[in-house]
A and B are shown apart, each in its own frame.
Chain A
Amino acid sequence: MAFKPSLKKKRTLIEAEANLTPVMNLICVLIPILLGSAKFVDLALLEYTPPLIQETGAEVGGGSGAGGGYVNALLELRVNVTYGALEVSIFNATTGENYAAIPKQPDGTYDYEGLRQKLVDIKQRVVGQPISRSQQQNPLSGKMEIVEQYKYSDADQVRISAEGDIPLQTIIRVLDACREYRASEGIYHPLFPSPALGQIQ
């Protein structure tokens, strides 16, 4: 014979709920703090060191990496941004194999990749490998840096001149193309990282 079920066991199940109010308080404080420090637009800084002008008008170095030194030969690399093309020249050439004009592309934009290829060619074919390496203190940052000496004392410099109405975006793109290139193994190598800006008269 079965026993009669106990009346005491008829307990009602109470649903336990976590008290989320303190967690909510914490999140409500964290969200405004994080909103204030969130970076929705990725900004960067393109550094430019204007060349120093001596009393005589001659420029001294083109920027941070200028080696100075015992070599006197000058590369005289120039990039002119005209309304129709990008002109690259070395040794002050205006024609011949030391001068190249890279015309605009059919869609009307400048051929920055073509400019970079031309500069890589100059770096590898004309400038070549460094002839010595030395450790020097950077006068601006005060840090010790390895300075490479090339056969041209201005081997890391480029003079960029542009027509007066060229927009800033074009100049930034040209500076990007002159600064570095990506080798086939995926490593970035410096090209001519010390620009000097001027205007085509």
Chain B
Amino acid sequence: MAFAPSKGKKHRRAGAAMPQLTSMMDMMTIMLLFLLKAYSTSGAFIKPATGVDLPNSTVMKEPVKVLSLIVTKDGLYEDMASQRGKKIEDLASLQNDNLVELPQLAAFLNQAQERNRTLGREEKRTLTIQGDKTIPYRWLLKVINTCSSAGFEKVDFVVLKESKYRG
């Protein structure tokens, strides 16, 4: 014999289950505030190259996006959106004391300027170097000499700001 259905069950409503969003909102609000604090208009343009330990400096000038090179212990690379692009000079030419200028780099810089001229872009005579802090000074001088001979009037170094408010 079947039992009579419970009268209490007749009044229960089948409501839609809602996830508890309050704790998630708390977390999201904290993240939003943190990210707003770290917001930077220049952060999207210049990023430290991967695998390069940049030197520290007390200089305060904001970096700008121009033609950039990456100098590491392995060689000299083209900067492709903060990733190592094409290898321009290998270790052998950087270590060669008979070379005052780097021929492959000179060809690369002339090519870059020629490309700018062909595309009708403004010819910028500034170049930035993302150099590892352990690279020898003589490598750096070769890069600077080559850039200077190729017509670049300013060679800037990308560095890590040491203290935000200088003491």
Contacts and interface: CB of A to CB of B under 8 A. Distances in A.
Given A39-B38, A43-B48, A50 B157 contact: no
B55 A168 contact: yes
A168 B135 contact: yes
A168 B140 contact: yes
Chain A contact residues, majority secondary structure? mixed
A189 to B, nearest CB: 13
Interface in B80-120: 97
B39 interface: yes
Nearest to B37: A38
B1 interface: no
Interface residues of B, number: 60
A167 B167 CA distance: 25
A20 B25 contact: yes
Nearest to A165: B136
A50 B56 contact: no
A199 B35 contact: no
Contacts of A49: 153-155
Interface string A24-58: 10011011001111111111111111100000000
Contact of A176 (B32, B38, B54, B58): B58
Interface in A154-201: 162-173, 175-176, 179, 182, 188, 197-199
Interface string B118-155: 00000000001001111111101100110110000111
Interface of A: 17, 20-21, 23-24, 27-28, 30-31, 34-50, 81, 140, 162-173, 175-176, 179, 182, 188, 197-199
17 contacts: A24-B21, A27-B25, A38-B43, A39-B39, A39-B40, A42-B161, A44-B161, A47-B59, A47-B154, A165-B136, A166-B137, A168-B132, A168-B135, A171-B140, A197-B140, A198-B141, A199-B141
Given A168-B131, A172-B159, 11 more contacts: A31-B32, A34-B35, A36-B44, A37-B39, A38-B38, A38-B43, A39-B43, A48-B154, A165-B136, A168-B135, A176-B57
